[in-house]
Copies of this chain bind each other. A is one copy, B any other.
Amino acid sequence: MSYLDKITSPTLLLDEKICRANIKKMADKAARHQMKLVPHFKTAQSREIGSWAKDYGVKEITVSSIKMAEYLSRDSWENIHIAFPFNPLETGKLDEIAENQPISVQIINTQTAQILSDQLKNPVGFFIEIDAGYGRTGVEVTDFGLIEAILLIAKKSDKLNFKGFYLHPGHTYYMSDIPAIYEESRNALSMLKHKYSTEYPELVTRVGDTPGCAVMEDFGDIDEMGPGNFVFYDLMQAELGGCYKTDIAVCLAVPVVDIKKERNEILVHGGGVHLAKDVLIDEDGNKNFGEVVFLNEEGWVIPEERSHLKSISQEHGLVKASDELLAKVKVGDLLGILPVHSCMTADAMREYMTLDGNFVDHAEGISQ
Contact = CB atoms under 8 A, between A and B. Distances in A.
A326 to B, nearest CB: 14
Secondary structure class of chain A's binding surface, majority of residues: mixed
A318 B67 CA distance: 21
A93 B7 CA distance: 12
A322 interface: no
A273 B87 contact: no
Contacts of A334: 89
A187 interface: no
Contact of A137 (B67, B137, B258, B347): B258
Contacts of A330: 111
B316 A84 contact: yes
A311 B137 CA distance: 12
A198 to B, nearest CB: 28
A165 interface: no
Contact of A112 (B84, B87, B316, B331): B331
Contacts of A7: 89
Interface in A330-344: 330-332, 334, 343-344
A109 interface: yes
A7 B90 CA distance: 9
A316 B273 contact: no
Interface string A221-262: 000000000000000000000000000000000010111000
Interface residues of A, number: 53
Given A64-B314, A115-B332, A257-B112, A272 B276 contact: yes
A85 interface: yes
A267 interface: yes
A126 interface: no
Nearest to A262: B140
A186 interface: no
10 contacts: A9-B66, A42-B314, A84-B269, A88-B257, A88-B332, A136-B267, A136-B313, A277-B344, A314-B343, A364-B366
Given A90-B255, A276-B276, 13 more contacts: A8-B87, A8-B92, A9-B65, A42-B315, A86-B257, A87-B269, A89-B255, A89-B332, A111-B331, A112-B332, A136-B267, A136-B316, A137-B267
